[in-house]
Amino acid sequence: MVPIGGLALAVVCAFAWAGLDVVRKQLSAALAPMPLIVLLNLGLLPVFGAWWVIAGGTITDASAYAVPGGLALALQLVANLLFLAAVRASPLSLTVPFLALTPVFATLVGALTLGERPGPLQLLGVALVVVGALILGSREDPGRDLGSGSGQQRVRLLRVFVTEPGAPMMAGVALCWGVTMTLDKQALAYAAVPVHALVQLFGLLVAALAYLAVRGQLRELAVPRSQWPGLALATVTGAIALGVQLVAVQWILVSVLETVKRALGLVSAVVFGKLIFDEAITLTKAVAICVMAVGVVLVML
């Protein structure tokens, strides 16, 4: 049985990430992906800096921290670059379903490196969440003819994985994110939460700024005043999401946290999509939500 405190943190973490995704979706209409990454990380630095000043903490063993902390940062950099490459190579609607593989990778890596072995029911729950997420992702896409027959064709994920160059890249993003959470858990054995967060955020910020500088795109960091409220909201939700995740991962299995986070995040995306973007809730989405809901209940046992 998952500890109640850890479960509560996982739920808060999931909804915070879902809220951040909604805000980022709105901001993406005015800001390119890499400038948005820079601005979000820049906003998060003072938040975790204040946490550090108030709560204190340090890196207790620099040599022991260096490996998991450094690898976590490196994989986050790779994940961001792969994500940008994937959305440039293929439509986001066809590639983002492969992020559903994140709980699978988190479960496998957690078992291999941390000795975290979920029980049979929890493994079944992980599988159901992944299946539900893939069902949710294999929705009808009127813009591409990937099936047979006439009218709107249902996306076939296996075929998409082969034909769309962005699909394997997005699966790589899922792998990076699944491994990163395990590395975070290892790194937090030698560093306080705000210190680890500051190291990761600062490293990502420097790398993203260097990327923009090399491409001559630093001018894209200029943000219209109309986007300031959205960035402020993104900073708040991002701070909650990352902070709670780093605390939660110390309480519960990596596989459980990632599964709850992915499932509730996708369900929230459907609900927010209906409420904010007037996106239809189809029978396929309803079935996917039910499958994932059963999966979440099982991983909590």
Side-chain-side CA neighbours of residue 141 (13 Å): 19
Asked whether the predicted pLDDT for residue 157 surpasses 90, the reply is no
Backbone angles phi, psi at 153, to 5 degrees: -110, 140
The pLDDT of residue 236 is 95
Q: Write out pLDDT tens, residues 69-119.
A: 999 999 999 998 898 888 788 876 677 778 888 888 999 999 999 999 888
CB 254 within 8 A of CB 110: yes
Judging by beta carbons within 10 Å of its beta carbon (0-12, 13-18, 19+), is residue 69 exposed, middle or buried? Answer: buried
6 vs 60: which has the higher pLDDT: 60
Distance between CA atoms of 114 and 1, rounded to whole angstroms?
Answer: 19
Residue 51's contacts (CB-CB under 8 Å, 6 or more residues apart) are 193, 194, 197, 243
Distance between CA atoms of 255 and 182, rounded to whole angstroms?
Answer: 9
Q: Which two tokens stand for residue 285?
A: 């989405």
Size of the chain, expressed as the number of residues it contains: 301
The pLDDT of residue 301 is 64
Backbone angles phi, psi at 141, to 5 degrees: -125, 105
Bridge-partner residues for 140, per DSSP? 154
Query: Nearest-CA neighbor of 183 among 66, 12, 15?
Result: 66
CB 2 within 8 A of CB 249: no
Banded pLDDT at 138 (limits 50, 70, 90): low
Domain ranges of the chain: 4-300
Banded pLDDT at 151 (limits 50, 70, 90): very low
Average pLDDT over residues 268-294: 79
Amino acid letter at 96?
A: V
The H or E element that residue 133 is part of is: helix 120-137
Q: Write out pLDDT tens, residues 209-255.
A: 999 999 999 999 988 889 999 999 999 999 999 999 999 999 999 98
Q: Which two tokens stand for residue 16?
A: 């915070």
Dihedral of alpha carbons 116, 183, 21, 105, sign: negative
The H or E element that residue 236 is part of is: helix 228-248
Query: Nearest-CA neighbor of 241 among 16, 19, 76?
Result: 16
Distance between CA atoms of 81 and 93, rounded to whole angstroms?
Answer: 18
Q: Which two tokens stand for residue 103?
A: 């709980």
Distance between CA atoms of 163 and 90, rounded to whole angstroms?
Answer: 10
